[in-house]
Structure 1
Amino acid sequence: MEEWIISFVEFLKQFGYLGIMIALTFEFVPAEIVLPLAGYWVFEGDMSYWLVVLAGTIGGTFGPLTLYALGRYGGRPFLVKYGKYMFIKEAQINKADAFFMKYGAIVAFTGRFVPGVRTLISIPCGMAKMNVWVFSIYTFIAMFPITALYVYLGVQLGPRWKDVGGLADQYLLPTAIILVVLIVLYVMWNKRAVIFKRTTK
């Protein structure tokens, strides 16, 4: 299966950065393969690092929207019955659902950094009818550093780009924690600024 996916992604290379975006809109095509491979193309001098990151982030935002739509308009019964045809197992749905119930809407962001959850976290977001714009913004913000990391490691490892997957997972969760802390600090700072303005009027 992996070799078939690699062949498919290499076929899409002829479309340049658009090909990377297209590859990532198919959720059965793992970003863990597409992005390090694209990093290898950067290593070879065929593409620009930042344009690959941009294309990967956009594609990585559109892709989850398909699972979001399945969750929102198909619901659990549809996914349990037909998910196997899309490589979705009920156990995976349950795991993503439990993660969503525990952490709430912010999982549209943080869930992207958690192995075993990152792909299917879109489904419970859809089933909960989370605002699609909020979902898309959270997904985009999460996908940018993830994409940058995978592509960077692909560039650094070059011909050994297939080794990126296990290496990247070591950095993803700490990155999520740092980003969440920064977001919380930003929100708190804004609230403090608003309160200060009100008290000084």
Structure 2
Amino acid sequence: MLEQFKELSYFGIMLALTFEFVPAELVLPLAGYWVYEGDMTLWGTVLAGTVGGTFGPLTLYAVGRYGGRPFILKFGKYFFINEEKLTKADEFFEKNGAMVAFTARFLPGVRTLISIPCGMAKMNVWVFSIYTFVAMLPITFIYVYLGFKLGENWKNVGELANQYILPAGIAVLVIFVAYKLITRKKKKTYREQHKTASKKH
């Protein structure tokens, strides 16, 4: 089945991740192996994986937003979602707010399901998409790069990737928060300067 996605090249990777035919933890290392074989470029594969990894959560976001909890509890079994997992994701969302669309991507157990409570809470879809994309970029890179480096041993990527994903999440979060603080400080400085200039006139 995965060979059929390979025939579709980058679009195949994006398609597989969008509809989650197979877990991303399997698709991305294999895609890294295809890079190793010379069939694709590293950054082209990372971009395709990141886009697909953003579209995939959007489908679950839509289920949460338009189907609600009763729908998910009724049909969730077909997607390996049970009430216990959903409750865990709900609690994580309540504790962390909108940022979970970013932070939860780095945590096994709530990574996939967190999109549902984001949808149920009617979180802004653009904010959700941006947070998801920013989180999926380093995660995708790690899986694809390790698959590329391990070559024929790409199936061993899983355990190795877990050692890098959480630290990568912390690093990206620090950069993101620093950027927000710097931007906020610049805006505040601009407003104060503008206010001072207005008083002079």
Range class of TM-score, shorter chain: over 0.9
Match of 2:146 in 1: 153
**Offset, 1:27:** 2.9
Q: Indicate conservation of the 8 Å contact 1:111/1:117, yes or no.
A: yes
Match of 2:109 among 112, 116, 126: 116
Q: RMSD between aligned alpha carbons? A: 1.1
C-alpha separation in 2, matches of 1:28 and 1:15: 15
Deviations 1:160-192 (A, max 9, x none): 111111111111111111111111111111121
1:132 aligns with 2:125: yes
C-alpha separation in 2, matches of 1:28 and 1:98: 27
**Offset, 1:28:** 4.9
Q: Indicate conservation of the 8 Å contact 1:27/1:119, yes or no.
A: no
Match of 1:175 in 2: 168
Gaps of 5+ in 2: none
Match of 1:5 in 2: none
What letter is aligned with 2:26? I
Match of 2:78 among 85, 92, 104: 85
Match of 1:144 in 2: 137
What letter is aligned with 1:167? L
TM (norm. structure 1) is 0.93
Match of 1:34 in 2: 27
C-alpha separation in 1, matches of 2:42 and 2:171: 23
Match of 2:57 in 1: 64
How many residues in Structure 1 have an aligned counterpart in Structure 2?
194
What letter is aligned with 2:120? M
TM (norm. structure 2) is 0.93
- Secondary structure of 1:165's match? helix
Gaps of 5+ in 1: 1-7
Match of 1:20 among 8, 13, 20: 13
